[in-house]
């Protein structure tokens, strides 16, 4: 790692383990099309790994989805991302990264606000995106496991996540 302190991110009040994750409806993008869908539609079908990440093109989005893909996570659980990227960008991202997941498009970052995970980007005036975070939700949208970035950048603890997935 680097030999200097990376930037700390502020305290937050994101949903914690045992809380119910706020529901939302946004365009949900797969490799062929997008349509409005609710988080609760997905959890009705089974557990969901909800991944907040940077806009497509920034390396943290690439890293996190490469890692989840290489670990086979989308085969174990419905894996869905959320970022401010447009549906067109999401679709290109899924194709380029060959990721078997679906991505919510939340350009105004209102979902980030609902989860208290807004991240105002320094040097990009007016751009607020989602602070990197991971929520493992059961069928009732109850948070079973949570990880929230403490630094910028910061990446999920994939071993811990694997344990949480195994415990579903």
Partner 1 sequence: MADEQPAITLYRLQACPYCERVVRTLDDQGLAYQSRFVEPMHSDRNVVKRVSGKRSVPAIVDDNTGVTMSESANIVEYLENTYGEGA
Element spanning 111, H or E: helix 110-114
Which of 8, 19, 41, 110 is the binder for partner 1 (CB under 8 A)?
Answer: 41
Q: Which stretch binds partner 1 (CB under 8 A): 29-37, 55-63, 108-116, 130-138?
A: 29-37
Contacting residue, 9, 24, 27, 100, with partner 1 by CB under 8 A: 27
Q: Which residues pair with 134 in a beta bridge?
A: 51, 147
Among 47, 81, 87, 132, binds partner 1 (CB under 8 A): 87
Query: What does the alpha-carbon distance between residue 66 and residue 63 come to, in Å, rounded to a whole number?
Result: 5
Out of 14, 21, 37, 82, name the contact with partner 1 by CB under 8 A. Answer: 37
**If binding is defined by CB under 8 A, does position 88 make contact with partner 1?**
yes
- Residue 38 sits in the site that holds partner 1 (CB under 8 A): yes
Cα–Cα distance measured from residue 103 to residue 53, given in angstroms and rounded to the nearest whole number: 10
Number of Cβ within a 10 Å radius of residue 166 = 8
The strand pairing partners of 146, in sequence order, are 135
The 102-141 contact track toward partner 1, x by CB under 8 A, reads ----------------------------------------
- The sign of the CA dihedral 117, 120, 121, 125 is positive
- Size of site (CB under 8 A) for partner 1: 17
Q: How many Cα neighbours within 13 Å face the side chain of 145?
A: 20
What sign does the CA torsion over 105, 111, 52, 160 have? negative
- Options 8, 19, 23, 44; binder of partner 1; rule CB under 8 A: 44
Compute the least distance from the CB of residue 166 to partner 1, in Å: 27
Binding residues for partner 1 (CB under 8 A): 27-28, 32-38, 40-42, 44-45, 87-88, 91
């Amino acid at each position: 790692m680097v030999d200097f302190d990376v930037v700390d991110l502020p305290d937050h009040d994101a949903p914690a383990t045992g809380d119910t994750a706020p529901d939302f409806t946004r365009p949900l993008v797969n490799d062929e099309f997008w349509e409005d869908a609710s988080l609760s539609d997905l959890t009705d079908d089974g557990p969901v790994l909800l991944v907040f990440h940077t806009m497509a093109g920034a390396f943290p989005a690439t890293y996190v989805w490469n890692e989840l893909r290489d670990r086979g996570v989308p085969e174990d659980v419905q894996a869905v991302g959320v970022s401010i990227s447009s549906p067109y960008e999401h679709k290109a991202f899924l194709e380029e990264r060959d990721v078997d997941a679906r991505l919510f498009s939340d350009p105004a970052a209102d979902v980030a606000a609902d989860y208290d995970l807004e991240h105002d980007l320094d040097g990009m005036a007016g751009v607020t995106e989602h602070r990197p975070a991971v929520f493992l939700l059961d069928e009732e949208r109850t948070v079973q496991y949570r990880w929230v970035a403490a630094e910028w950048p910061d990446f999920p603890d994939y071993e811990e996540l694997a344990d949480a997935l195994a415990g579903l």
